[in-house]
Chain A
Amino acid sequence: MSTVPLQAWMLLAALIFSVGLAGLFTRRNAVAVLLSVELMANAVNLNLVAFGYHRGDLEGQVMALFGVALTVAEIIVGLALIILMNRTHKSIDIDSATELSG
Chain B
Amino acid sequence: MTAGIYVSIILFAPVVAFGLLAVAAPIRERGTLAGWLVAAATGATLWAALALFFGQLSDPQTLEWTIRWMSGGSADFAQVGWRVDGVSAGMAVVVSLVALCVQVYSMEYLADEAPGSRGRYFSWHALFVFSMQSLVLAPNLLQLFMGWELVGLCSYLLIGYYWRKPEAGKASLKAFWVTKFADSFLLMGLVVLVAATGSFSWDLPAGLSQGTITAVAVLLFIGAMGKAAQMPLHVWLPDAMAGPTPVSALLHAATMVAAGVYLIVRGWPVFEASETALTMMVWVGAVTAFSAGCLALLQDDVKKLLAFSTCSQLGYMMAALGAGSMAAGYFHLTTHAFFKALLFLTAGSLIHAVHSNNMSEMGGLRRTMPVTFGLFIIGAAALAGLPGVSGFFSKDMVLEALSHDAQWGPLVLCLAGVAVTAAYMTRAVLTIFFGEARGAHKAHEPGWRMLVPMLALGVPSLAVGLFVGDFQSLVGEPGYSATEMLSHFIGLPALGVLLALIGFGAGYAEFKGTKLPAPAGLGDWLRSRPMDRFYEAAWNRAVLVVARGVAWIDRYIIDAAMNLVGWGALAGGDYSRRIQTGRAADYMWAIGMGTLAVVAYGLLGGS
Contact = CB atoms under 8 A, between A and B. Distances in A.
Interface residues of B, number: 13
B592 A95 contact: no
A98 B588 contact: no
A24 B588 contact: yes
Contacts of B604: none
Contacts of A97: 582, 584
Interface string A27-62: 010000100000000000000000000000000000
Contacts of B579: 102
A92 B55 CA distance: 98
Q: Main secondary structure on chain B at its contact with chain A?
A: helix
A76 interface: no
Contacts, number: 36
B583 interface: yes
| Interface size range of chain A in the complex | 10 to 19
Contacts of B580: 100-102
A94 interface: yes
Contacts of B581: 98, 100-102
A94 B584 contact: yes
A19 interface: no
B577 interface: yes
B578 interface: yes
B590 to A, nearest CB: 11
Interface string B568-583: 0000000001111111
B72 to A, nearest CB: 53
A95 B582 CA distance: 8
A99 B587 CA distance: 13
Interface string A13-32: 00000000100110010000
A100 B581 CA distance: 7
A33 B592 contact: no
A101 B589 contact: no
A39 B589 CA distance: 17
Contacts of A25: 585, 588-589, 592
A50 B512 CA distance: 133
B589 A99 contact: no
A99 B582 contact: yes
A31 to B, nearest CB: 13
A100 B582 contact: yes
Contact of A101 (B582, B585, B592): B582
A99 B589 CA distance: 18
Contact of A98 (B578, B582, B592): B582
A3 B157 CA distance: 105
Nearest to B588: A24
A28 B581 CA distance: 16
Contacts of B578: 102
A21 B588 CA distance: 9
A34 to B, nearest CB: 11
Nearest to A28: B585
Nearest to A100: B582
A24 B589 CA distance: 9
A98 B577 contact: no
Interface string B587-600: 11100100000000
A22 to B, nearest CB: 10
A73 B429 CA distance: 109
B583 A102 contact: no
Contacts of A98: 581-583
Contacts of A101: 580-583
A102 B580 CA distance: 5
19 contacts: A21-B592, A24-B588, A24-B592, A25-B585, A25-B588, A28-B585, A95-B583, A95-B585, A97-B584, A98-B581, A99-B582, A100-B580, A100-B581, A101-B580, A101-B582, A102-B577, A102-B578, A102-B579, A102-B581
Interface of B: 577-585, 587-589, 592
Given A21-B592, A25-B588, A102-B582, 16 more contacts: A24-B592, A25-B589, A25-B592, A28-B585, A33-B584, A95-B583, A97-B584, A98-B581, A100-B580, A100-B582, A100-B587, A101-B580, A101-B583, A102-B577, A102-B580, A102-B581
In the A-B complex, the 4 residue pairs with the closest CB atoms: A101-B582, A102-B580, A102-B577, A98-B582
